[in-house]
């Protein structure tokens, strides 16, 4: 599987930030860009080589990443003028030989589980990640000539393209037949009519396309005190001299490896999802609302059977972590 990121856009609506850097290099927290996040996701989905499909200010991207990022090999395909997503995708399909291609729009930030998407894909098809549409406006509810209520930016019963595509090699010709344009308008409708277009949906996963200053603010808010992990992320909610509250998010079928705390006492509260906490070898099935107390010195590890969100309340010993191999 080869990766690709569509990072050639002009980012006009994000000026003046994009006057000097391409959109994909905008930082979502200090020292951590949109593209950093995407490279991190691809690496931990098992992708060892990827192409940055660049254009506008491509030299800035090449200067930052060079030929590799954290062990992932990087090559560049640069278009001299904007020719649409299809032209960029075709450049990748014509250049690199692979069984499949995992391609991301360069302006999305998401917790969608790319490894699961790859694992669920079907040979001889194209898969698109989709996400449920959230209204950009508050909704007014009407009945019998009266306003009966208001809903603030509700989730609507429609789905949108989430900007992640998995193309199997045996469908390359369906793309390279055309030269340029928007892939959503040229190729995908044709594949849908043939029954060759699948979708990957992960309910509740964070997703945001960064198209405006407001979008960028929303992403930066999400990443306050957040540290991305191969299994998901951890986010510091509160730190005092008496306790720490941390939010942990595990993607489906992921592990927090076995460890113990010498002095730290913690309680895990399951906020959503299902999984297993192994405490001194004993399997404890957990789901929404369950609480597990872990005393100092007790070896434990966590597995997520579904996307799992937890709150961890503990004594304030942030560095008290010792790996413990099975």
pLDDT per position as a tens digit, 71-101: 999 999 998 887 888 889 999 999 999 999 9
Whether 2-222 shares its CATH topology with 226-323 is answered no
Beta pairing, strands 2-7 & 49-54: parallel
Sorting pLDDT into bands at 50, 70 and 90, what band is 40?
very high
Residue reference for tokens 């906490």: 277
Spans of all domains in the chain: 2-222, 226-323
Spatial neighbors of 162 by CB under 8 A, at least 6 apart, are: 108, 110, 112, 128, 129, 130, 131, 207
CATH code for the structural domain at 226-323? 2.60.120.10
**pLDDT, tens digit, for every residue of 164-221?**
999 999 999 888 888 878 888 889 999 999 999 999 999 889 999 999 999 999 999 9
Answer whether 0.95 is exceeded by the pTM. no
Q: CA 11 to CA 14: how far, in whole Å?
A: 6
Q: Lowest-pLDDT range, 69-83, 103-117, 269-283?
A: 69-83
The domain 2-222 is placed in CATH, from the list 3.30.420.40, 3.40.50.10490, 3.90.550.10, 3.30.365.10, at 3.90.550.10
Q: Nearest CA to 64 among 108, 33, 96?
A: 33
């Amino acid at each position: 599987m080869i990766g690709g990121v569509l990072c050639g856009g002009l980012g006009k609506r994000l000026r003046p930030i994009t006057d000097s850097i391409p959109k994909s290099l905008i930082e979502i927290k200090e020292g951590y860009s949109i593209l950093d996040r995407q490279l991190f996701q691809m690496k931990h989905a098992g992708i060892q080589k990827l192409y940055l499909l660049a254009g506008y200010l491509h030299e800035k991207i090449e200067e930052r990443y060079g030929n590799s990022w954290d062990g992932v090999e990087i090559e560049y395909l640069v278009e001299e003028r904007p020719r649409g997503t299809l032209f960029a995708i075709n450049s990748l399909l014509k250049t690199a030989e692979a069984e499949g291609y995992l391609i991301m729009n360069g302006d999305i930030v998401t917790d969608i589980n790319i490894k699961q998407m790859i694992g669920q894909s079907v040979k001889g098809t194209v898969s698109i990640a989709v996400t449920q549409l959230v209204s950009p406006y508050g909704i007014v509810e009407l009945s019998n000539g009266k306003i009966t209520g208001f809903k603030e930016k509700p989730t609507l019963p429609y789905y949108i393209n989430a900007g992640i595509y998995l193309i199997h090699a045996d469908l390359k010709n369906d793309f390279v037949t055309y030269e340029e344009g928007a892939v959503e308008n040229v190729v995908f409708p044709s594949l849908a009519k043939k029954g060759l277009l699948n979708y990957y949906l992960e309910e509740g996963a964070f997703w945001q396309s960064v198209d405006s200053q407001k979008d960028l603010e929303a992403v930066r808010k999400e990443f306050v005190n957040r540290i991305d992990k191969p299994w998901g992320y951890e986010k510091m909610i509160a730190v005092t001299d008496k306790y720490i509250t941390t939010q942990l998010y595990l993607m489906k079928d992921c592990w927090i490896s076995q460890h113990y705390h010498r002095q730290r006492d913690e309680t895990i509260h399951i906020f959503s999802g299902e999984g297993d906490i192994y405490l001194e070898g004993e399997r404890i099935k957990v789901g929404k609302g369950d609480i597990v107390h872990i005393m100092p010195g007790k070896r434990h590890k966590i597995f997520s059977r579904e996307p799992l969100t937890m709150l961890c309340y503990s004594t304030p010993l942030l560095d008290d972590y010792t790996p413990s191999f099975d």
